[in-house]
Amino acid sequence: MTLNIYLDHNATTPLHPQVAEKMHQCLQGAAPANPSSLHRHGRDARKILDDARDQLSSLLAVESSELHFTSGGTESNNLAIQGLAPIDAPLFVGATEHPSVLEPARQQWQQGRPGGVLEVDSSGKIGDFEVVNGALYSIQWINNETGISQEISKLAGQIHDGGGRLHIDGAQGFFRIPMTIPELSVDAATITAHKSFGPVGAGALWVRKGLLIDPLLRGGPQEKKIRPGTENLLSITGLGELARVARSTPLWDLVALRLAREALLLPLQEIPDCKIIPQQEDDWPGCVHVSFRGIHAETLLVRLDMEGISASSGSACSSGAREPSHVLEAMGVDLDWIRGSIRLSLGPVERTPQNSVALLSRVGARIAAIVNQLRTRDFETPPGE
Q: Which residues, 6 or more positions from 124, have their beta carbon under 8 angstroms from its beta carbon?
A: 96, 143, 146, 148, 277, 327, 330, 331
Tell me the pLDDT tens digit for each residue of 72-105.
Answer: 999 999 999 999 988 899 999 999 999 999 999 9
- If one counts the domains in the chain, the total is 2
CATH code assigned at 355: 3.90.1150.10
Torsion of CA 91, 93, 95, 98, to 10 degrees: -130
Among 204, 231, 248, the domain boundary falls at 248
Residues 319 and 354 in one domain: yes
Provide the pLDDT for residue 164.
Answer: 97
Is it the case that residue 284 has pLDDT exceeding 90? yes
Active site (annotated) includes residue 317 = yes
- Of residues 285 and 223, more confidence is placed in 285
- Of residues 101 and 45, more confidence is placed in 101
Is it the case that residue 135 has pLDDT exceeding 70? yes
Residues 31 and 168 in one domain: yes
Residues 262 and 346 in one domain: yes
Quick one: the chain helix, strand, coil %, rounded to 5?
Answer: 40, 15, 45
CATH code assigned at 164: 3.40.640.10
Residues 225 and 307 in one domain: no
- pLDDT average, residue stretch 63-76: 96
Q: pLDDT band at residue 222, thresholds of 50, 70 and 90?
A: confident
Q: pLDDT band at residue 382, thresholds of 50, 70 and 90?
A: very low
Tell me the pLDDT tens digit for each residue of 154-170.
Answer: 999 999 999 999 999 99
In-domain check, residue 384: no
Beta strands in the chain (DSSP E): 5-6, 67-70, 91-94, 115-118, 136-140, 165-169, 188-192, 203-207, 274-276, 287-292, 309-310, 341-345
In-domain check, residue 30: yes
**What's this model's pTM, rounded to 2 decimal places?**
0.92
Annotated catalytic residue within 26, 274, 287, 317: 317
Tell me which residue range forms the domain holding 186.
17-248
Is it the case that residue 237 has pLDDT exceeding 50? yes
Tell me the pLDDT tens digit for each residue of 347-359.
Answer: 987 777 777 888 9
Provide the pLDDT for residue 93.
Answer: 98
Is it the case that residue 317 has pLDDT exceeding 70? no
Residues 174 and 268 in one domain: no
- pLDDT average, residue stretch 123-127: 95
Q: For residues 367 and 309, is the Cβ–Cβ distance under 8 A?
A: yes
In-domain check, residue 239: yes
**What's the rounded Cα separation, in Å, for the pair 213 and 217?**
12
In-domain check, residue 381: no
- Of residues 33 and 65, more confidence is placed in 65
Q: Identify the burial level of 151 via C-beta atoms within 10 angstroms of its C-beta, where 0-12 means exposed, 13-18 middle and 19 or more buried.
A: middle
- pLDDT average, residue stretch 184-188: 98
Starting at the edge strand found earlier in the chain, the sheet holding 287-292 runs 274-276, 287-292, 341-345
Q: For residues 93 and 105, is the Cβ–Cβ distance under 8 A?
A: yes
Residues 237 and 166 in one domain: yes
